[in-house]
Structure 1
Amino acid sequence: MRTAPFTAPEFNLGKVNQDAAARMEIVTHLINDTIEFYKWGLTIADKRVEKWPLMSSPLPTLAISSMYLIFLWLGPKYMQNREPFQLRKTLIIYNFSMVILNFFIFKELFLAARAAGYSYICQPVNYSDDENEVRVAAALWWYYVSKGVEYLDTVFFIMRKKFNQVSFLHVYHHCTMFTLWWIGIKWVAGGQSFFGAHMNAAIHVIMYLYYGLAAFGPNIQKYLWWKKYLTIIQMIQFHVTIGHTALSLYIDCPFPHWMHWALIGYAITFIILFGNFYYQTYRRQPRREAPAKGGKAVTNGVVPGDEWCQQTGGEADSGGEREEEEEGAG
């Protein structure tokens, strides 16, 4: 049986060039449309904050976040063959400094919102130069800055070779919070924005207080039995955020609806991630115990009572046995 001779497919260089040109035109249009949309957005941005540090352009925030991501890649490589840094004193100072900063933010938001007569149900943004409104905006700006400072959590983990602590949730939380809050301050530095920020700042006071105390070592850490409740409080926060935002949509509160929907979606991601962390850490049944070791049962290769040294090498994480996912959000 004779077979037909093989014929190579015809290569049409002209058509390839046309397709490439069409794709390039689409990309160019997308870039131009994005630039035009941003320029339009600037016309409705909050004029009060445009000359505040970091607020004139998104580039500084994006640059800081990009350097953070680069450090995530290069940091472990740099530390791979080096001894971990001993940062106990640094961590104590850092954690208690964050307690002070978050308490200041909570106090400013709470007092300024009360003085301005804010509603906890529905509060539109007031872009006036009223003293209390500017005070709310300034406190929210400090809240945004605090999210940038929290990048140091990751830096300390990597410097101390706690690479396992730098999880997806850890990076997702830190990178998105700092970046997204630039948008919040740029366009809605007030109104409904105060609710989640002052609730989250209050939780961070408790959270960093725990980390600061735990950083003193096992003599203090043994009294910090309430660690798992930090995760529970944070998950409650996300549910409250969704409920509060859904109510605002239901009553048609005059606050940008697209931001309400974005916040609901964002909070859902944290409920899923934090819920998984809580289940994996506190609810999942441990493996069956191995035979006794030195008179003590061994679970997963760790002798009860030795967990602190096994997990931290005798030094507290960025707050004792800090789990990366317990670093607030929302």
Structure 2
Amino acid sequence: MLQMNESDLHLRLSEFSFERRFDDRGAIQWMQENWSKSFMFSALYAAMVFGGQHYMKPRPKLDLRLPLVLWSLSLAVFSIIGAVRTGSYMLHILSSSGFRRSICDQSFYNGPVSKFWAYAFVLSKAPELGDTAFIVLRKQKLLFLHWYHHITVLLYSWYSYKDMVAGGGWFMTMNYTVHALMYSYYAVRAASLRVPRPFAVLITSAQIAQMVMGLTVSGLVYRWMQQGDCPSRMDNITWATLMYLSYLLLFSNFFYQTYLRRVAKTKTQ
């Protein structure tokens, strides 16, 4: 199994005290014992989504502009910091040890800087379900892509963290980065500020690129797992592949329907 020299990483990467003190072993043990609670959160979330829509049907929509700004802004700040911290770790691995080790090395889960943000990432998937409450209470259109994505990311993240599977550093860093863009966009829009259309196109393009890279990483983990130095399991690779493939299809369809088909319709009118 590939493993970075932790003392070397401590020398090269500066840590905050809370990152250094973080008990990664306790976090992994807790997740191994409690990861199945993600199914409970998912079930409660589904009840909130569809029960909430039924409850709001005869009632007027709520504005919630200020709470939405604060919610999106807080998640944007969290994602930006997470992207910077995990990104610095991944860049160090790439520059010092190469692309293969950046995928197969498990040190992302227990290394300096990244260990706290890896755990923060998987835990954040539960409160992020609150995104949908704003859609339901404001009586906006709820896409299948939205709630399906929330549920499956929560389940897969908790399921994978407990086993410290290969590829996690790429999966988490990419998601942090895309969410930094996405929640910043949501915060600005919620504040009624105008955002140029190309920025929205950029975000969806980044999401599609994330799914392509997710499939690529999953394929490489499968290939290198056969050689014994890329720790994962066939069931995890299968779920990751199915998840990223479904996301790729759904986000590509969203991109077509939102940015290409509407433009084509406008030109023909």
TM bin (shorter chain): 0.7 to 0.9
Q: 1:286 to 1:255 in 2, by over 3 A?
A: same
Measured in 1, the distance between the counterparts of 2:81 and 2:130 equals: 19
Q: 1:287 to 1:90 in 2, by over 3 A?
A: same
**1:234 aligns with one of 198, 207, 216:** 207
Q: 1:247 to 1:62 in 2, by over 3 A?
A: closer
Q: 1:136 to 1:232 in 2, by over 3 A?
A: same
Measured in 1, the distance between the counterparts of 2:188 and 2:70 equals: 11
> Is the 8 Å Cα contact of residues 121 and 248 (structure 1) preserved in structure 2?
no
Aligned residue for 1:264, secondary structure, equals: helix
Q: 1:97 to 1:55 in 2, by over 3 A?
A: farther
Matches within 5 A, 1:229-268: 229-251=202-224, 252=227, 253-258=229-234, 259-268=236-245
Q: Does 1:146 align with 2:119?
A: no
Aligned residue for 1:187, secondary structure, equals: coil
Q: Does 1:65 align with 2:42?
A: yes
Larger fraction in helix: 2
Q: 1:55 to 1:245 in 2, by over 3 A?
A: closer
**What is the deviation of 1:59?**
4.4
Matches within 5 A, 1:92-111: 92-111=69-88
**1:208 aligns with one of 175, 183, 200:** 183
What is residue 125 of structure 1 aligned with on the other side? 106
Matches within 5 A, 1:9-88: 48-52=26-30, 56-88=33-65
**What is the deviation of 1:270?**
0.9
Bigger relative CO (Cα 8 Å, ≥ 6 apart): 2
> Is the 8 Å Cα contact of residues 214 and 224 (structure 1) preserved in structure 2?
no
Measured in 1, the distance between the counterparts of 2:208 and 2:252 equals: 7
The percent of aligned pairs where both chains have the same amino acid is 21
Q: 1:247 to 1:57 in 2, by over 3 A?
A: closer
1:47-87, CA deviations, whole angstroms, 9 ceiling, x for partnerless residues? 543454x6532343222211111111210121122221111
What is residue 19 of structure 1 aligned with on the other side? none
Measured in 2, the distance between the counterparts of 1:222 and 1:139 equals: 29
CA RMSD of aligned residues (A): 2.7
What is residue 162 of structure 2 aligned with on the other side? 186
Structure 1 counterpart of 2:106, one-letter code: V
Measured in 2, the distance between the counterparts of 1:127 and 1:177 equals: 19
**Stretches of structure 2 lacking an aligned partner (at least 5 in a row):** 1-23
**What is the deviation of 1:279?**
1.4
Larger radius of gyration: 1
Structure 1 counterpart of 2:186, one-letter code: Y
1:122-176, CA deviations, whole angstroms, 9 ceiling, x for partnerless residues? 3232599x652xx4333111111222122111111001111x2x22211110011
Scaled by the length of structure 2, what TM-score is found? Answer: 0.77
Measured in 1, the distance between the counterparts of 2:36 and 2:216 equals: 33
Q: 1:172 to 1:63 in 2, by over 3 A?
A: same
Measured in 1, the distance between the counterparts of 2:47 and 2:25 equals: 33
**1:286 aligns with one of 261, 265, 268:** 265
Measured in 2, the distance between the counterparts of 1:286 and 1:68 equals: 36
Q: Does 1:273 align with 2:254?
A: no
Scaled by the length of structure 1, what TM-score is found? Answer: 0.64
What is residue 146 of structure 2 aligned with on the other side? 170
Structure 2 counterpart of 1:192, one-letter code: G
**Stretches of structure 1 lacking an aligned partner (at least 5 in a row):** 1-45, 290-298, 300-330
